[in-house]
A and B are shown apart, each in its own frame.
Chain A
Amino acid sequence: MELSEALPGAVKQVFGEMFFTFVSEAARGGDGEGKPFAVESEIGFKGDRSGRMRLVFSQRLAEQLAANLVGVDPAVLNEGEIIDAVKEAANILCCNLLMQAGVQTSEVSIPVARPFEAATAEAEGDTFEFEAEGEPLRVVIRLEDA
């Protein structure tokens, strides 16, 4: 199965089960309308398909996901918990997606998190837009040539 075909199901399962958050596909990018992207996480994978996956979140969504993950009010979260949550989202989604798509992987890198940078976010890759908690969520997958 193509990664793009498996992605919506993987996103819904991962965010539903681990972050208690309902996610739906969005017709268009959601980085406007006063809800700018603020933070992103990225992870690499190697195997019979290799590449990188990037998840981009608004600040409010990143905070809400972290709060749901650990079961606390977003107001009491610290920055480390938010960073851990978006890195964990990349890690779990990447592994789940590769498994659902039947990709044999030999290595998944340690995820990283950083502030969103519009200039790098538009780098080459297939972009998929979702919505969660009324906030935008973007997934970018860039496959490397075999």
Chain B
Amino acid sequence: MAFNVLIVDDSATMRAMIKRVIKLSGFEAETIYEAGNGREALKVLDGHWVDLVLTDIHMPEMDGLELLRVLSAHPVLNRLPVIIVTPEGSDEPLQEAMRLGAKACIRKPFSPEKVRQVLMRHIEEGV
């Protein structure tokens, strides 16, 4: 079974890197969508079925926390698993993200195996 994943990060290079790690991890992704911030992510979600979202926190226009706020208030998308991907060492924004409904956090640096484990755990919960 393959899944659709949405990567939200303002750095195109980081999106490419996360995409690469997902492929290296062996996780079966059918389509990997990309968005440069929360607003773009909502546009993607408006037109495509996505099984899981991986998002950065700090982004221009609409950051990861605001994206979580919008999703948590949405009647359908509030069930969508959202994973935070960040180098953030400070606990405060991560606690806020979890309070807003994020399922987990993948801290950079990460290995493909760690990514695979987190994706599998949370996508299976959502199926």
Contact = CB atoms under 8 A, between A and B. Distances in A.
Interface of A: 13-14, 16-18, 47, 66, 69-71, 80-81, 84-85, 87-88, 91-92, 94-96, 98-99, 103-106, 108, 110
A86 to B, nearest CB: 10
Nearest to A16: B109
Interface residues of B, number: 18
Contacts, number: 65
Given A17-B111, A95-B87, A95-B89, A88 B11 contact: yes
Contacts of A94: 87
Given A18-B109, A92-B109, A85 B13 contact: yes
B125 to A, nearest CB: 26
Interface of B: 11-14, 16-17, 20, 58, 87-90, 92, 107-111
A93 B93 CA distance: 18
Nearest to A103: B89
